[in-house]
Structures are given as C-alpha cells and as structure tokens.
Structure 1
Amino acid sequence: MENAMKSFGENVFRDSNLKKRVSKEVFKEFKASQLGKTELSKEAAEVIANAIKDWATKRGATHYCHWFQPLTDLTAEKHDSFLEPTESEELIYKFSGSNLIKGEPDASSFPNGGLRSTFEARGYTIWDTSSYPFIRENKNGVTLYIPTAFISFTGEALDKKVPLLRTMKYINEQALRVLRALGNTTSKHVFNTLGVEQEYFLVKKELFEARDDLLLTGRTLFGAPAPKGQELNDHYFGKIKDKVINFMSDVDVELWKLGIPSKTRHNEVAPNQFEVAPLFSVANLASDQNQIIMETIEKTALKHGLVALLHEKPFDGVNGSGKHNNWSLGTDDGKNLFSPGKDPKTNTNFLIFASAVIESVDRYYPMLRYSTATATNDHRLGGHEAPPAIISIFLGEELTTILDNIANKKDAPVSEASEVNLSVDVLPTFSMDSGDRNRTSPFAFTGNKFEFRMPGSSSTPATTAAVINAVVGKVLSEYAEKLEKATERTLPKIINEIIANAYKKHHRIIFNGNGYSEEWVKEAKKRGLTNEVSANTALRKMVDPEILELVDGIGMLSEQESLARYNAYAERYVKQLTIESRTFIDIVNKNILPSALKFANLLADHIEKNSKYGKAFIKEQEELLKDVLSNVTALRKETKSLEKEIARVSNEEDLPKQTDLAKEKLVSGLEALRVPCDNLEKVIDKDLWKFPTYTDLLFKL
C-alpha cells in the first residue's frame, strides 16, 4: 500500500509535469488560460502538446483521444494514433497543438434534442485546460485521454461540461462582486467546489449475465423478495468481505494513479451495496473525476468476476443508490465562504452567502428538481432511503435561530458546541457539533458546505452543479447591486436587510424535521411547495418561460440549448421505459411463461398419478395448480396489454403527451406484469426457474 500511495498522480499530467517541461512564459500563459484571463496562443499550444506527447509516449501511449460527456450521462471518446508517416516512409510520433485543442467527432448521433440533424454531422471537442489529461493502461496498450467540451458546428453546447464551465465563470464573477462590496480586496477568484459520494451495487458476473433485465436496463424488472433483506441493518458499515476489500483496494490504487484522492469506502445500507468518496475538488475537475470513478469501478469489478450496478434502483424493496453532491464556494486565498467560523452571528460573509443559497433554492427549486429527474431516479426518490421529491433546505437549529433572530429582531439563545464526557476512562472527552445532520433533507447544510442528496447514482454531477451555480449566482448578483450602492455608513444596514429579507421571504423552504414523514408532505403543501414525484412533469420546468429567461440571461444555456435539452431528456425518459417494457415482455414470453407452463404440466401429472392419496391432497394440489394457471393467464393478459401501450406511446407525436403516456401506461404496465412473475417465482421449482433470485444477487459474492 505504501508503494501505491507513492504512485499517486503518476498517470495524470498535472501542472507540475508541465512546469518542468515548458518555459516560464508558456506556463504562465497556460495558468492564465485556466482562469479564463486569456486564450491559449497557437505557439503555446504547440509547446504544451509536445510536452504532453513526450510524457505520454514515455509511459507507453500509442493513441490519444478527446474524452467528453454527451447528454447521455456517460462519457464518449474517439481514439487517434500518434503515428504518422513521413516522406521517407518512416513512422513518427506526432501530436500538434491543434490535435490537443480541437477534435471533430460526429455531432448528430449523440442525443442533441434537435440541434443537429443526421446530415449535419460536424461537431467539435475543445480541450478543457482546467482539467488534467491522463493516461489509461489496458492489457495491450496505453491511451492518452484529453478532457474536453463538446459543441456543435454552429457553437451550441452538446454536453454536460459547457453549462458547468459557463456557470462556474458566472458565480465567480458575482461572488467576487459581493466580496468586494463587503471589503475583501485580496481574493481574486472564487472556485465552485464539489465532493461527490458514489454509491453502487456489486453482483457476481455470472449471475448478472443470466438476467437480461440487468443486462439491458440496469435493474431487475422482476424478483420476489429474499427471505432476508436489509431489515437487520447488518450490512451498513459492516465488516467488508475479503473479495470486496480486494476489489476496493484495486479501485483505490487506480484512482490514486490518476490523481483522484479516493478517501472513504464502506458498506452501504442494502446488501451488496457500497460507497466510495474522494476529497473535494474544483467542480469541473470533480465532475470529470466522478466519471472516471464510475468507469474505474465498472472496469475493476469485471477483473474480480463482478459487475458494478450504477442504476438508482436495481432491486425492489431495498435501498437504491444516490450520488450526494457536496457543493461549496472557496477563494483562491483559502477562504471557505460557507464556513461559519467561531461565531456565525458575526460572520457577515457567511450569513450573506448562506442567505443567497436559501433565497435561490426557494425561488428556483423546480430547477433543482429537474436537474435530478430521470426515469431511473424516480424509483428512488421519495422512499425511506432517499430525500423526497419536495425540495427543502436543512440548516440545523443553530443557523436557523441566528437567522430568525436577525430577521425578527429576537434574542433567542443559540445552541453552541459542548464537551461530552462519557465517564469511561478509555474514551476521551470530545466536542459535539452545535448542530445535527439530516439525511432526509434534499439540500442540507453540513458545516461548511451544502449536501445535495437528490442526484441519482448514474448521473453526472456537472448537471446539478451547473444549476446550483446558476441560481445562487443570480441571487448573488442581486445582492451585489444593493451592496455596491451602499456607502460606508449605510453598508451595515443594507447587509442586515439582505439577510433579514431573505429569511422572512424564503423561510418556507427551511425544514429541519423528518422529510420521510407524511406530516411533512402535508406541511409542504401548505407552504406552497410542489411535490414533483415523476420525472416527466419535473422535466417540463426546463421550458418554463421564467427559467428559460434566467439560464439564457446568465449565459448558462441559450433558449435553443435549453429546449434541445428538454427534448433530449424527455425522449430518453420515454426510450428507457420502452426498453424496459420490451425487455420484460421478451423475458416473459421466452423464459417465464414456458417455465410456468412446464411447472403446471408437472403439477397436473402429479395430481393424476397420485389420486390415491385422497381428496384433501388432491384439493390442495389442484388449488396450487389453479393459482399457477391464474398467474399464467395474468402473464398473457399483461404482456398483451403492455404491447398495446408500447405501440400507443410510440405513435404519440407530441413529446410532453408522450412522456405522460409513458408514465401512465408503461410504468403501471411494468408493475402489473411484475405481480404474476413474482408470484410464480415463489412456487416454481428452482430447476425450472432459471433466473438468479434476489437471494442470489444480494447475498452471494
């Protein structure tokens, strides 16, 4: 392990690598380009490209690729060889500045929501200079990966990264305006940071391959509950099995090589569910790193005879998987803008920025909801495992009391950290935090950051980070306008008014209680908060006129880009449910139905051959046969019904109506078809029921 720690960052081309290989002038220009202060010149790009090529080829790289994040929540890559022929018929390694900066993948075959037609194929990948190039080692070679943005020939954003980079620039500008107005003259840049917790399941590879539903949709479409689930809470933070710890150790080593500070690993709540979390990074780098983490988990699992499941809800009846986004703002001179300090009551910077978050979430909570809206995440949100679909903020009693005192001119006592002595000699006295944590809250303040718990495990954090940056940045811009007009004499009054008004007008979004409770659902409705439980309606807020105006006005997405994203995400919603429906029908017709009929025939033969055992025996067997045949009839009925609904959904040309039909008919159809399948699994002989069960999938590694 010591050697593994020494290898940290060996497969990533960091600033230190570049600094050793280029002149001071080129390095200075490169650093300025990272902060958006200047564009990288062609001359500097050539020098940097040569330095990266020399580093990569010495590590064995034969190919390079532009690595980007299209609107699939996955990554994409196009590989090119470094090799180029010369006039003397010799081969040389060549990698130019233009190769580094720009690539040209097909832009019409990825989801684009109508921005590109099939005949309009050209698109560009553009190097993100603030995210490090890295190499990946495979059995038969090494490839250099260059993190890039992905745009159309006409300049529209076709990926997840461009909106994030735009909003990182925007919130930096607005946060600096606020800091300057508050008297900060030293901070020159405000960075949006993310710490991303990744949950996932592991199953045996041979069991995964025996389930077409897992293979094609990422989740089990049927499966009777195992006799034991997660009710004993014996898996959560439990002893990690040797096979799993070996896998986790290999994941850590691969991540460390890529400069990703993988920090935490543990068992999660559900059986065979786990979590990995790195230290926080600047948002676009953290987003890239999370994509690498997911891909590394999947790749490493296969080497151990396992398959990693990143679906939000692979198994019914046990917890699903989320991706908690820990979002914060920090300055280039080391200040965390959400750190309360020793006395939050007098920390003006903290209270102003916290107020901006409260106000922005209340005003624009539909944006936070649609940023997490997918067909897969619908299975997870709202259960007693993940936050409800109702957006609220948890602040804790200390901060809530402070803001309430300021807003309403009170002097209520504020809880403070206290010492705890357990009166056991071997256990030291320790300081308690002044506030508790709330795992039922979608958006919780956790000490020096806000934890957004709604995103699903398969999503990219770039989407949610961009939305948070946009809405908080918008409110900060309004605060800046007020603060910039203040004089030295009026500044304290305006600061107090901003904090007080934010709490008075938007405290309805603050909820420190149990988000799982039915009482909160009723209370949220009284407060005027919506409960968008389904992705099809949540996504529609993307094209709300007020939201279109906001994201266009701050430069996050043009109106055309927003409309295109709605089209792409709504189409994906329909396609995912259609694929699930077709997959389930195929499994039923080719596997479950034949197995059920075989079992029914065996039962009938058994009854006929054993009539000598008396009427009571025969009656019991006939009732079992009747139940089996009843479920067989239900199978036929529900598959035919689902087939009709698939056709009905596919024939609907109006996209919003199509998503509503998919939600109404396909989701309910899948649930209805599952009932007889699960009933049959409970009684059919294992020799006839060829599928791995929940017991196999959840408890066997």
Structure 2
Amino acid sequence: MKDVPNLFGSMVFNDAVMQARLPKDIYKALKKTMTEGTHLELDVANVVANAMKDWAVEKGATHYTHWFQPMTGVTAEKHDSFISPQKDGRVIMEFSGKELIKGEPDASSFPSGGLRATFEARGYTVWDLTSYAFIKDGTLYIPTAFCSYSGEALDKKTPLLRSMEALDKQAMRILRLFGNKDAKRVITTVGPEQEYFLIDKEVYLKRPDLIYTGRTLFGARPPKGQEMEDHYFGNIKPRVAAFMKELEEELWKLGVPAKTKHNEVAPAQHELAPVFGTTNIATDHNQLTMELLKSIANKHGLTCLLHEKPFAGVNGSGKHNNWSISTDTGVNLLEPGDTPYENAQFLLFLVAVIKAVDEYQDLLRVSVASAGNDHRLGANEAPPAIVSMFLGDELTQLLEAIENGTAYQGKEKHQMEIGVTVLPHFPKDTTDRNRTSPFAFTGNKFEFRMLGSAFSIAGPNIVLNTAVAEVLREFADVLENSEDFKGDLTKLIQKTISEHKRIIFNGNNYSEEWVQEAKRRGLSNLKTTVDALPAFVSQKSIDLFTRHHVFTETEIHSRYEILLENYSKTLHIEALTMIDMVKKGIIPACVSYQNEELQLLNSKKACGSSFDCTLEEQLVDKLSRLSSRLVKKLEELENTLLESKSQSDALSVARFYRDKVFVAMSELRLIVDELETVVAKKYWPYPTYAEILYSVI
C-alpha cells in the first residue's frame, strides 16, 4: 500500500492545491465566491482555469468534461480536449475561464418530463465551485449543475443545492435566536453506506435478465441462502479483497473518504461506508463510488450489482443515508451533549426533524420510490414502506417528560459486564439500535435507511433538507416575535412533541401489529411507487418546494412524469426480457428434456413389462403439465403488454403495469422457478442462484 496521506486527494484540485497554485488575490476571490456565493468575475475564472489545466496536464490529463447528474439516476459527461490548433500546424494546451464556468450539452436527449421538446436542444452546465474538480482516466472532471435554455433545473444537483441554501437560511434564524454569533452558515452532512453484490462476470454474461434489468427475473431458491448467517462480517475472500483494495485506493485518490468495508448478510453481498461530508460533495462522491464499483469489478473479472433486489429470497441492497446538521464552526446541531434535557437548542432542532418527518412522511416515501425498491422494502432487514422514527428509550422518555412537564431522571452510563475478567470494561450505550426502523436516531445524526442501493442520494436529501427548513421557518416565525423567549420555546417544544409523537416507534417495524398500530395512528402505508408518487404533486408538496425555491411547480410536475415513466419502462423492459428468456431458453430446454425422457420411456416400454416406468411417466407428466401452464402464462403476459398501450395518462399506465403486468410476470415466474427444479441441469439454459451467489471463490 502506498503512503495513504499522500495518496489521498492526489487527483483532486482541492483547497491545498489551489493555495499552492493560485495568486493570493485570486485564491481569496475564489474562496469568497465559494463561501459567500458572490459573483465570480471572468478574469478570476481565467486564472483558475489556466492553473487547473496546468495541474491536470502535469497529472496526465488531455481532456476536460463538465460532469453532471441528469434525471437518469446516473452521471453524464462530454469530453473536450485541451488542444488549440495554431497557424503553424502545431497545437497548444488551452483552457479558458468561460470553458470552466459553462458548458452546452444537448438538453433534449435527457429526461425532462416535458420541460424540453426534441427541437429545444440547448442546455447549460454550470460549475459547482463548492465541489472540487478531479482527474479520472486522463480527463479533468468539473462537477456542474445542469439547466435548460429557459432556466429549469434538469438535474439532481441544482435542487439539492437550493435545498441546502433553504435549510441554511432557516437554521441561521434559529441560531441567532439562541445568541450564536460565531456561525456564518449551517450545512447538512451525509455519510451514505453503500451495499452491493459481487458476482463472477462470466456467470453474469449468461443471464440476460441481469444484463438488461439488473435483477434476476427467474431463479429457484438455492439449497443454501443466508440462513446460517455466516457471510455477515465473515472473512473476505481473496478475490473480493483484491477488488476492495483497488477500489479504496482509487477512491482515496479522488478524495472520497472510504472508511469501512465488510461482507453483508446475503451471500456475495458487501458494503462500503465513507466518512460523512457536506451533502452535495457526499452526493458527488457516492456517484463516483457507484461508477468505480462497476468499472473496478470488471477489471477483476467480476460484476457489481447495484439493483435493490437482484435475488429473490435473500437480502436486498440499500443505501443508509446518515444525515446531520452542522455549523461552519464544526458544531453538530443534533449532538445531545451530556445533558440533552437542558440543551434547548438541541431539543428544538430534534423536534423540528420529528415534525418534518411526520408532516412530510409521504414525500420521504416518494424520495425512495422505484420499481426496484418496491421489491426490497419490508423484506430481509430492509425497513417497511411505513415511515416512522426510532429515537431509543432514553430520548423517548426525555420527550415524554418534557411534554408532561415532569422531571427527567437521566440514565447514567453503565459499565458493561460480560463475565470475562480479562476483557476490558466499556461503557454501555444509552440506547439500542433498531435495524428495522426507516429513520433512526443514532447518537448525533439520523439514519434514513429506506434508500435503494442504486439511488442517487440527492432526492432523499432534497426532501429532508426542505422539510426541515420549512419547520424551522415556522419555529422562527413564532420565536422571533416572542416577548417571553424561554417560556414560548418550552411551549413550542411541548406542543410539537404532543402533535407529532405518533411518528416515533421504537419496536419491531416488521410485525403485523405495527402495521395495524401505524394505521391507528394515521401514518401512511404507501406500499408501491405508484401509491406514493401522487403525493409529490399534491398542493402541500408544491407549496413546500416553491416556498423555499427548491423546485418550481413546473419542475415538480416534470419529475413526477419522469418517475412514473421510469416505473412503467422498468416493468416493460423486465416483461420483454422474461418473454425473450422463456421463448429462447426455457421452452427449448423443456422440449429437449421431455424428448429425452419420452425416448427413454418408449424404449423401456418396447422392452416389455419387466421395466418399471413410474419415474419416467411421472416426470413426463409433470413436465407436460408445467409446460402447458408455461405457454398459457407466457401468452397472458404478451397479451397484457399489448393491452398496456390502451392506457392514456402516465399514472394510468403505471397503475396498469403494477396491477396487471407485474402480476402476469409473477405468475410466469412461479412456473419457471418450479421447472428449474425439474429440468435436468444439462438442459437448463441459465446459471442458477447457487451458481451465481457462490461463483466468487
């Protein structure tokens, strides 16, 4: 391993590089723009661009790209070289401030939800100064926002930055009420834990469903899944360890603070977790992480699967969004301190989050909605579709005492005694962890566990930031006009606890009792993406986002249309893939195996009655019955797909795919999975679950 401190950030045009390479006045002007949002003058941009180009060329870069995050869920890039032809036939390497600040990619070929027509092609990428440029694969990557010619946001970064500004504005109003004069800015921070599967590339290439959809559309349960719980935190296999080592090195070069790696619960499943960072930078880093997971896996003869549920019956993959609020002076506003009962500022921010999650639970569900995540939520250690909060016994009892106006007897930290004298004593935490909770307080942050592994973390954090900003706005409006700040603060905290405590649940989120209890409390249970998405375009949501200038109403409706279309398109591709696999692989396998068994049966019968033909007769009969049902269900799926074309608006289409197409797909899968257990291995056309999950040795 190379010298990690020197390796870390070595391919990033970070603050240290800028200080070393920029004139002092240019560096000062740039930092002022980054921290205060002042206008960046072109002459400053020209100097920065030239220094950035010189640094990049020294590192081996020949091109630059404006790197952005359109509404596809992945990143986009268009590469331009630094070369500038000269009259004498030579070239020089040039890069201007104008090229650094603005790019002009085609805006009509990305999802826009009706914001752009095909002939309205002009779009702009604009440099995000707060996220450092970096070098990857010989290209200088410049993180940017992406908007249309008429100014609408066509990406995930622009509204994310807007939501961060909204929360900063409202949180600063609260801090000023508490007399905080040191903080100049409030930022949200995120540490996204990334789960993924690693399988052998040769096996992957034999599964059309994995190639086209990212998940297995067929597959009988293997003899061994995750029942023994022996993979979780188990010894990392050498091939996987080599992949992880290279992944970490490449991430460290790019300034991504990859910290933790381990085996996850399911066979072939793993996790990577970084140190937290500012939300927009953490979002960039997570996009980079997902890209490198795939490219580096490929170099090792592996394939990385980021689908939320690539295999039925075993754990899906999530992305735990560890979210907190801090000042620019380094104070975590969700840190309870030693005496949270006496920490009024912490309590106000805590109840603000509680109220935000309760009032905008539907939007939080929308933020993690996708066809893939619908398979995962509520199964195998993933949280359910019902949004609730886990606070732990101590904080819950604290809030109860505040609500009731009674004294709170804080718990003392106890030394753990585990019965072995040679082991050191250590303090017991004041609360347990709850892995079934969608939104859990974990000491000084909240862990939003509902995200699917392939998600951009931008969407959930946009909702979370904006919802909390709205509650803080309401709080500030009340307290800024108060004549008795302390008394009104206490009443506000008590009132908020009383009105929103229904969202707090510290028990088993998987139990049927909780489903009934949540219904009694009036909490939403939006089981599918199609159930959830209409909440995005409700008047309440529109008012929230437009009030804080995070989305315009037009931008909200465009994203709603995109999400509905993505849901329907995903199921359409999956259905077509199923049909193709059945016709080209499953049916020929069934026919070939039946033919073999019929030949054997006829041969035995031709030899006389001395041979028992029970096995062959039963096998042929079962194969024949299953094959007949297979053809029938295949025809039903094809007819259902044709019927989907008769639907009109996007919501009707999505509902049809959920209620009709998905049901037909599920029925077809049941038959194919049973056939897999009957047809001889030599005829079965696709690798089985056992072969896929245990292919990496």
TM-score (normalised: structure 2): 0.98
Structure 2 Cα separation of the partners of residues 696 and 613 of structure 1: 41
- Offset from partner CA, 1:177-204 (integer Å, 9 cap, x none): 0010111111111111000000000010
Structure 1: distance between partners of 2:390 and 2:198: 32
**Which residue does 1:588 correspond to in 2?**
582
Q: Which amino acid letter does the alignment assign opposite residue 134 of structure 2?
A: F
Secondary structure, aligned partner of 1:202: strand
Query: Matches of residues 556-571 of structure 1 in structure 2 within 5 Å?
Result: 556-571=550-565
Q: How far is the alpha carbon of 1:33 from its aligned partner? A: 1.6
Partner SS for 1:633: helix
Match of residue 646 from structure 2: 651
Q: 1 CA distance for matches of 2:276 and 2:676?
A: 45
Q: CA deviation at 1:348?
A: 1.2
Does residue 1:394 correspond to 2:366, yes or no? no
- Between the aligned partners of 2:343 and 2:408, the Cα distance in structure 1 is 18
2:544 to 536, 544, 550: 550
Q: CA deviation at 1:80?
A: 0.5
SS at match of 2:517: helix
| 1:655 shift after superposition | 1.0
SS in 2 for 1:451: strand
Once the two structures are superposed, what CA deviation does each residue of 1:550-595 show, in whole Å capped at 9, x if it has no partner?
Answer: 1111111000000000001100100000000000100100111011
The match for 1:627 among 622, 631, 646 is 622
Aligned pairs, how many? 695
Tell me which residue corresponds to 2:662. 667
- The alignment partner of 2:597 has SS state of helix
Tell me which amino acid in the other structure corresponds to 1:697: I
Q: Which residue of 2 aligns with 1:46?
A: 46
* Number of the residue aligned with 1:146: 142
Counterpart residue number, 2:686: 691
> How far off its partner does 1:380 sit?
0.1
Range that drifts further, 365-374 or 404-413: 404-413
Counterpart of 2:8 in structure 1 is: 8
1:421-460, aligned counterparts within 5 Å?
A: 421-460=417-456
**Aligned equivalents of 1:68 and 1:650: distance in 2?**
34
Letter in 2 for 1:179: L
1:190-205 equivalences under 5 Å are 190-205=186-201
Following the alignment from structure 1 to structure 2, what is the Cα–Cα distance between the partners of residues 617 and 181? 90
* Alpha-carbon shift at residue 614 of structure 1 (Å): 5.0
Contact (CA 8 Å) 2:479, 2:488: kept in 1 or not?
yes
8 Å Cα contact 1:131-1:285 kept in structure 2:
yes
Q: What is the identity, as a one-letter code, of the residue corresponding to 2:559?
A: R
Pick from 121, 141, 156: which aligns with 1:160? Answer: 156
The corresponding residue for 1:408 is 404
Q: Pick from 452, 476, 498: which aligns with 1:480?
A: 476
After superposition, give the CA deviation of every residue in 1:209-254 in whole Å (9 maximum; x if it has no partner). 0000000000000011100000000000111111111110110000
2:494 maps to: 500
1:50-61 aligned at under 5 Å gives the runs 50-61=50-61
- Inter-partner Cα distance in structure 1 for 2:332 and 2:339: 15
Q: Is the deviation greater in 618-627 or in 448-457?
A: 618-627
2:513 paired with 1:534: no
- Give a deviation string over 1:478-531, Cα, whole Å, max 9, x none: 1111121124xx111111112111110000000000001111000000001111
Counterpart of 2:339? Answer: 343
Deviations 1:127-185 (A, max 9, x none): 11000111113xxxx11111111101100001110110001011011101001011111
* Cα deviation, residue 35, structure 1: 2.6
**How far is the alpha carbon of 1:86 from its aligned partner?**
1.7
Q: Give the superposition deviation at 1:5.
A: 4.5
Whether the 8 Å contact between 2:314 and 2:380 is mirrored in structure 1 is: no
What's the counterpart of residue 26 of structure 1? 26
Counterpart check, 1:352 vs 2:371: no
Matched, 1:523 2:517: yes
Partners of 1:398 and 1:496 in 2: CA distance: 19
Name the stretch that deviates more: 409-418 or 357-366: 409-418
Name the counterpart of 2:306: 310
Q: Would the alpha carbon gap of residues 354 and 644 (structure 1) be closer, same or farther in structure 2, given more than 3 Å must change?
A: same
CA distance in 1, matches of 2:403, 2:384: 28
CA distance in 1, matches of 2:408, 2:62: 67
Contact kept, 8 Å, 2:316 with 2:380, in 1: the verdict is no
CA RMSD of aligned residues (A): 1.2
Q: What corresponds to 1:636 in structure 2? A: 631
Q: Deviations over 1:411-430 (max 9, x none)?
A: 35443321113342321010
In 1: Cα distance, 2:220 partner to 2:31 partner: 57
- 2:360 maps to 1:364: yes
Instruction: Show the counterpart of 2:176.
Output: 180
> Which segment is superposed worse, 22-31 or 531-540?
22-31
1:227-242 matches, within 5 Å, as: 227-242=223-238
TM-score by length of 1: 0.98
Query: 1:602: which partner in 2?
Result: 596
Point out where structure 2 has 5 or more consecutive residues left out of the alignment.
none
Question: Counterpart of 2:44 in structure 1: which amino acid?
Answer: A
Task: Name the counterpart of 1:109.
Answer: 109
Aligned identity (percent) is 49
Distance 2:319 2:358 in 1: 22
Show the counterpart of 1:262. 258
CA contact (8 A) 2:45 2:100 kept: yes
Task: For residue 323 of structure 2, give the secondary structure of its aligned residue in structure 1.
Answer: strand
2:352 is paired with a residue whose SS is helix
Q: Deviation at 1:30? A: 1.3
1:449-470 CA-partner distances (Å, limit 9, x unpaired): 0000000000001111111000
3-state SS in 2 of match to 1:200: strand
Q: Do residues 286 (structure 1) and 282 (structure 2) align?
A: yes
CA distance in 1, matches of 2:33, 2:640: 53
What amino acid sits opposite 1:175 in the alignment?
A
Contiguous gaps of at least 5 residues in structure 1: none
Q: In the alignment, is residue 381 of structure 1 matched against residue 370 of structure 2? A: no
* Distance in 2 separating the partners of 1:498 and 1:254: 49
Give secondary structure in 2 for the equivalent of 1:194.
strand
Rounded to whole Å, the distance in 1 between the matches of 2:664 and 2:106 is 37
- Aligned to 2:161, what secondary structure does the other structure show? helix
- Matched to 1:434, the amino acid is T
Q: Which residue is 2:126 aligned to?
A: 126
Once the two structures are superposed, what CA deviation does each residue of 1:58-98 show, in whole Å capped at 9, x if it has no partner? 11111111111111111110111111112222201111111
Q: How far 1:669 sits from its partner (Å)?
A: 1.2
Tell me the secondary structure at the aligned position of residue 556 of structure 1: coil
| Whole-angstrom CA distance in 2 between matches of 1:297 and 1:281 | 20
Please give the alpha-carbon distance, in whole angstroms, between the structure 2 residues aligned to 1:3 and 1:185.
Answer: 41
State the 1:19 CA deviation: 1.2
CA contact (8 A) 1:270 1:318 kept: yes
> 1:397 touches 1:415 (CA, 8 Å); kept in 2?
no
Instruction: Kindly state the Cα deviation for residue 619 of structure 1 after the two structures are TM-superposed.
Output: 3.1
Q: Which residue of 1 aligns with 2:78?
A: 78
- Confirm or deny: 8 A CA contact 1:421 1:428 kept in the other structure: no
